[in-house]
């Protein structure tokens, strides 16, 4: 499988270089696409420099301003599909998602999953160093989504996900509405409604040690109401 990891970045100067080095040290021949939203801290300049060392494997989309995680991933998905990648991964730049787990998510795809989720809540709660408030919010959100949607996924807001290209091709990316945590829920729910096989792989999630979280509380509101809306939506596969 041709594999592409998409990492959206906004002010990840402290993490980006180590992340690129780590991904390229892995077995598995991953390519990497950074989607940077004009980070004021100069993340894109660092990526541009690294691209000269890895011209065949490291790519970047630069956007004008902070346009949100959801649209960053959608731009990345389209880029990946246009270039024939077969396995497409979402991952944060902050090492909360251990890049070594990319190999496990790949194994899940190879074993037949269409979507493989790096999940914090498969058995108990595998989160290290998150403030209790955030952990409770995230865990309750996952219960709420399961209750409202009946989707058999324990970590619906997870941002560490591998998709087979067929899944992203079948989803009408123009119709994905949510931007923050809701985006992650909406993608998984749509894939599930379209009949794709979703597998959760247990990971340990560690809070970032460098840089700060870019997620805002407002994206919880979007997700809360958006999830209710999902129940009333119809989903149809895009024909290619």
Ligand X SMILES: Nc1nc2c(ncn2[C@@H]2O[C@H](COP(=O)(O)OP(=O)(O)O)[C@@H](O)[C@H]2O)c(=O)[nH]1
- Joined together, the tokens standing for residue 24 give 């390229």
Helices (H) and strands (E) in the chain, counts: 8, 9
Q: CB of 178: closest distance to Mg ion in angstroms?
A: 17
Q: Which is nearer to Mg ion, 106 or 157 (CB)?
A: 157
- Residue 172 C-beta: closest distance to Mg ion, Å: 27
Q: What does the alpha-carbon distance between residue 146 and residue 156 come to, in Å, rounded to a whole number?
A: 8
DSSP 55: T
**Residues touching ligand X: how many (CB under 6 A)?**
20
Per-residue interface string for the shown chain with ligand X, residues 49-78, x marking contact by CB under 6 A: -----------------xxxx--x------
Q: Which is nearer to ligand X, 2 or 208 (CB)?
A: 208
Residue 118 backbone phi and psi in degrees, to 5 = -80, 105
Query: Which of ligand X, Mg ion, none is residue 8 near (CB under 5 to 8 Å by kind)?
Result: ligand X
Residue 214's binding partner out of Mg ion, ligand X, none, with CB under 5 to 8 Å set by partner kind:
ligand X
CA distance 142 to 33: 28
- 196 part of the interface to ligand X, by CB under 6 A: no
Angle in degrees, CA 162, 180, 114, rounded to 5? 20
Asked if 198 and 153 count as a contact pair (C-beta separation under 8 A), the reply is yes
Q: Are 182 and 227 in contact (CB under 8 A)?
A: yes
Considering the rule CB under 6 A, would residue 155 count as an interface residue with ligand X? no
| Sites for ligand X among residues 205-224 (CB under 6 A) | 213-215
CB atoms within 10 A of CB 191: 24
The yes or no reply on residue 127 touching ligand X (CB under 6 A) is no
Residues 8-37 that bind ligand X (CB under 6 A): 8-10, 12, 35-37
Q: How far is the CB of 95 from Mg ion (least distance, A)?
A: 9
* Alpha-carbon torsion, ordered 41, 81, 183, 154, to 10 deg: -110
**Please, what is the minimum distance in Å from the beta carbon of residue 49 to ligand X?**
18
Positions that interact with Mg ion (CB under 5 A): 92, 94, 96
Tokens for 45?
């300049």
Contact between residue 20 and residue 54 where contact means Cβ atoms under 8 Å apart = yes
Q: Which residues in the 101-120 window bind ligand X by CB under 6 A?
A: none
Residue whose pair of structure tokens reads 């499988």 in the numeric block:
1
Q: Judged by CB under 6 A, does residue 92 bind ligand X? A: yes
Residues making contact with ligand X (CB under 6 A): 7-10, 12, 35-37, 66-69, 72, 92-94, 96, 213-215
């Amino acid at each position: 499988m041709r594999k592409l990891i998409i990492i959206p970045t906004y002010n990840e100067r402290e993490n980006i270089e180590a992340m690129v080095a780590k991904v390229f040290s892995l077995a598995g021949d991953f390519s990497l696409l950074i989607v940077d939203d004009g980070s004021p801290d100069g993340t894109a300049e660092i990526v541009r420099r690294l691209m000269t060392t890895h011209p065949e494997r490291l790519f970047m989309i630069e956007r004008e301003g902070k346009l949100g995680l959801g649209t960053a991933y959608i731009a990345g998905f389209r880029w990946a599909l246009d270039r024939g990648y077969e396995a497409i991964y979402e991952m944060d730049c902050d090492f909360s998602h251990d890049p070594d787990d990319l190999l496990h998510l790949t194994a899940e795809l190879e074993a037949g999953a269409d979507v493989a989720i790096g999940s914090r809540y498969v058995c108990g709660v595998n989160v290290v160093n998150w403030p209790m408030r955030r952990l409770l919010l995230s865990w309750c959100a996952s219960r709420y989504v399961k209750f409202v949607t009946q989707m058999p996924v324990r970590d619906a807001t997870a941002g560490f996900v591998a998709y087979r290209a067929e899944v992203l091709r079948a989803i009408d990316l123009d119709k994905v509405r949510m931007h923050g945590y809701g985006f992650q829920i909406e993608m998984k729910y749509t894939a599930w409604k379209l009949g794709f096989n979703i597998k959760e792989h247990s990971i340990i999630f560690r809070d970032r040690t460098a840089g700060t979280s870019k997620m805002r509380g407002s994206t919880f509101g979007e997700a809360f109401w958006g999830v209710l809306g999902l129940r009333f939506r119809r989903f149809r596969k895009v024909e290619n």
